[in-house]
Amino acid sequence: MLVSRVKNHAIRQHRVLLSLVVLGFLIWRSSSRVRVTDMPAVRVEGLNANSSRFTLNGEPIRILGGSMHYFRVPRAYWSDRMVKMKACGLNTVTTYVPWNLHEPERGAFKFHGQLELEAFINEAARVGLWVILRPGPYICAEWDLGGLPSWLLRDKNMKLRTTYPGFTAAVNSYLDKLIPRVVPLQYMKGGPIIAFQVENEYGSYGNDSQYMSFIKEALVSRGIEELLVTSDNRQGLHRGGLKGVLKTINLQKIHPEVLRQLEAAQPDRPMMVMEYWSGWFDVWGGLHHVFEADEMVPVIAELLSQGMSINLYMFHGGTNFGFMGGALGNQPYRPMITSYDYDAPLSEAGDYTPKYHRLRTLFRGYQSDNLPMMPKSQQKKPYKAVTVFQHLSLWEALVYLEKPHHSLRPVNMENLPVNNGNGQAYGYTLYETAITSGGTLNSKNNVRDKALVFVDKVFIGVLDYKTLELAVPDGKGERILSLLVENCGRVNFGKDLNNQRKGLVGDIVLNNTPLRNFNIFSLDMKPDFIERLQSTKQWKSVPKMLTYPAFFQGKLWVSGYPADTFIRLSGWSKGVVFINGQNLGRYWSIGPQQTLYLPGPWLKRGVNQVPPTYLFVRSQACVCGIYTQIGTLNSISCVSKLY
Ligand code: GLA
């Protein structure tokens, strides 16, 4: 019986593999056909914007583009999503480049695996899509610090997005590594990149008149030869732009005066919407944004009928995996959720939506050839509930972390002497000091962004932007006051970029006296941190009386071929989920997101393999007041829907 089941299982897997091979072949066939017809063998001229219509190689072209960020989509799915774009009638994929992922430590660069930009660009060519590259270095994008590395903020005088020498030197050394990778992928060198964007919406931000020319020159001097563009929104258009560079606009609804303004600024040049916002992003505690297809499609139809080129931002949003979601800084501070679904035509998990189908019908009218066939959607699977079987309290975990840093005064995350001198970028930081009395604890608004406060490991409350004061109960002798400070995401847009240091950014006072002599633990939750924690012998079975915050481990059993799923954490409050070394992102019960996307390729196949594990930091929900109700531990399930 067992044998035959195993056999059936093997046959099933075989079938799945077989059908994948066949599908892969079909995709290859259609893309190679596309490549032959769409991509000219002889290239005499790149994208040209010297008349009212774009031309490419001398032939008129209308850009029908869609944004998809390689860093928000598992690499195993890049191709699938691009083929779906092509099948919708798009001819171009547009992506930002996130400096903070590519240079996580000053001078140490990453361009492999999920971050292999050249592979993404080559994949676009294979599928038959042109590429518009938006290398920033600032990208906004609801991404931590708008894509800038947090180590820049170690300099207390830092002026981001200006010609401040500390910033330009860092930009130069980053572009020295990035640009040579994309130079050979430009159109005139046989690659698919037809245009580059210079910075991002600088018209809404800066007043350094030299800065945009500096970025332009930084690209050109390193060998960028294709068309350069800038992009600005309605508010920034009149201040944005750069001499000799095509201006484009970002919008969601048609404001005739803005289109007139764009046209007047550059008569007889092609009109392009670089970001047509197909939906919008969500923040924790807010509502999930929906922008109806009925509203969207007529606007796009109108823009096209006016002869404009367009890029849908986003065509496929993907996910803010890890701690990479940004935040809105304009009062109040509002961090981004983990999902970057964006209500885009392809959902977070790459599924077709009504918007996709409506756009396909619309775009078909702009093609002379038939559209390629739409690939099948990826299967989604609900798995059996995850059994959480091990527990390690934060206090027990501390001895396994690197030694704390001693400091008279609080030190912010970025300035901690960790991470090869780059400071701590993301995660949590624990500040501990001895106190000898109770009284009033006041944060002086120096907590970034949320602190759980404990006296001798007993939770006494939360300090954040709203709550600046807490009562510390009286007690005998010396006691330890602990503040576990969570970095919930750095602001990615607006004037406040230079003030995005996290942790404790100044003094905390007890009865008006600043606290001193801290032990500071860095909990960056990077893969080696998680591995170290996982290998400790101190994990215990989950106790009846749970203490928080804590790490939990559980098992997810995957039988059959691993498929995409969504993790629902009913009864859990706030934390972060890891699986097989991947950080799936932040979870927070206040929503609007209730589940975390878990892509199939990150799961291990087969019931007999070492099961994947989860780790959680679980802490009391701050927004709901004191968390008293503890969810049932076996309430982590895998479902097939995001919202
Ligand atoms: C602007 C930015 C994008 C993104 C959108 C909102 O247009 O250029 O990076 O932040 O807003 O989603």
Tens-digit pLDDT profile for residues 456-497: 999 999 999 999 999 999 999 999 999 999 999 999 999 999
Confidence of residue 331 (pLDDT cuts 50, 70, 90): confident
Confidence of residue 41 (pLDDT cuts 50, 70, 90): confident
Confidence of residue 534 (pLDDT cuts 50, 70, 90): confident
**pLDDT at residue number 79:** 98
Q: Do domains 24-231+302-364 and 395-523 have the same CATH topology?
A: no
Two tokens, residue 301: 């139809």
Annotated active-site residue 275? The verdict is yes
Over residues 64-84, mean pLDDT? 98
The candidate with the shortest Cα–Cα distance to 486, out of 519, 453, 533, is: 453
Over residues 180-208, mean pLDDT? 97
472 lines ligand 1 (CB under 6 A): no
Over residues 311-318, mean pLDDT? 98
Atom of ligand 1 nearest to the CA of 141: 9
Contacts of 570 (CB under 8 A, 6+ apart): 631, 632, 635, 636, 637
Helix (H) or strand (E) holding 603: none
Two tokens, residue 286: 């807010």
With tokens 């893969």, the residue in question is 527
Residue 198, pLDDT above cutoff 90: yes
3-state SS class at 535: coil
201 lines ligand 1 (CB under 6 A): yes
| Contact present, 311 and 132 (Cβ < 8 Å) | yes
pTM to 2 decimal places:
0.91
> In this predicted model, what pLDDT tens digit does every residue of 348-360 receive, in sequence order?
999 999 999 999 9
**pLDDT at residue number 10:** 34
602 vs 596: CA distance, rounded Å: 13
With tokens 């801290």, the residue in question is 518
Atom of ligand 1 nearest to the CA of 275: 7
Confidence of residue 567 (pLDDT cuts 50, 70, 90): confident
215 vs 217: CA distance, rounded Å: 5
Instruction: Kindly indicate whether the domain formed by 395-523 is annotated with CATH number 2.60.120.260.
Output: yes
| Residue among 233, 313, 315, 320 whose CB has most ligand 1 atoms within 8 A, to mutate | 313
637 lines ligand 1 (CB under 6 A): no
> In this predicted model, what pLDDT tens digit does every residue of 122-145 receive, in sequence order?
999 999 999 999 999 999 999 999
- Closest protein CA for atom 3 of ligand 1: 141
**pLDDT at residue number 571:** 77
**pLDDT at residue number 545:** 78
Q: Which residue among the candidates 199, 226, 275, 486 is catalytic per the annotation?
A: 275
Instruction: Kindly indicate whether the domain formed by 24-231+302-364 is annotated with CATH number 3.30.70.520.
Output: no
For the chain, give the longest Cα–Cα distance: 83
| Contact present, 71 and 319 (Cβ < 8 Å) | no
Instruction: Give, in order, the Cα–Cα distances in Å from 530 to each of 101, 356, 540, 615.
Output: 19, 39, 17, 8
Count the alpha carbons within 13 Å of 298 in the hemisphere toward its beta carbon: 5
Instruction: Give, in order, the Cα–Cα distances in Å from 503 to each of 294, 312, 325, 396, 464.
Output: 44, 36, 17, 22, 11
Helix (H) or strand (E) holding 462: strand 458-463
250 lines ligand 1 (CB under 6 A): yes
Burial of residue 560, with CB atoms counted within 10 A of its CB: 0-12 exposed, 13-18 middle, 19 or more buried: middle
Over residues 396-424, mean pLDDT? 95
The candidate with the shortest Cα–Cα distance to 389, out of 184, 542, 589, is: 542
Other CB atoms closer than 10 Å to residue 221's CB: what's the count?
A: 11
Residue 618, pLDDT above cutoff 50: no
Spacing, Cα 169 to ligand 1 middle (Å):
26
Spacing, Cα 195 to ligand 1 middle (Å):
18
Contacts of 121 (CB under 8 A, 6+ apart): 131, 133, 182, 185, 191, 192, 193
**pLDDT at residue number 642:** 53
Residue 643, pLDDT above cutoff 90: no
**pLDDT at residue number 96:** 99
Mean of the per-residue pLDDT values for the chain?
88
595 vs 593: CA distance, rounded Å: 6
The candidate with the shortest Cα–Cα distance to 446, out of 513, 516, 525, 499, is: 499
Would you list the domain boundaries of the chain? 24-231+302-364, 395-523
Residue 540, pLDDT above cutoff 80: yes
Question: Between 173 and 633, where is the model more confident?
Answer: 173
With tokens 């600088």, the residue in question is 202
Percent of the chain with pLDDT over 70: 88
How many residues belong to the chain? 643
635 vs 643: CA distance, rounded Å: 17
Annotated active-site residue 201? The verdict is yes
**Paired strand residues for 484:** 430, 452
Residue type for position 50: N
| Contact present, 280 and 291 (Cβ < 8 Å) | yes
Spacing, Cα 120 to ligand 1 middle (Å):
21
80 lines ligand 1 (CB under 6 A): no
Residue 55, pLDDT above cutoff 60: yes
3-state SS class at 202: helix
- CA of residue 240 relative to chain centroid, distance: 26
Question: Between 635 and 485, where is the model more confident?
Answer: 485
Residue 502, pLDDT above cutoff 60: yes
347 vs 237: CA distance, rounded Å: 30
Confidence of residue 574 (pLDDT cuts 50, 70, 90): confident
Atom of ligand 1 nearest to the CA of 342: 12
Instruction: Give, in order, the Cα–Cα distances in Å from 48 to each of 62, 188, 287, 306, 307.
Output: 11, 12, 42, 19, 16
Percent of the chain with pLDDT over 90: 72
Spacing, Cα 472 to ligand 1 middle (Å):
43
570 vs 591: CA distance, rounded Å: 12
**pLDDT at residue number 37:** 41
Q: Are strands 428-435 and 518-523 parallel, antiparallel or unpaired?
A: antiparallel
Spacing, Cα 399 to ligand 1 middle (Å):
42
Reduced DSSP (H G I as helix, E B as strand, rest coil) percent helix, strand, coil of the chain, to 5: 25, 25, 45
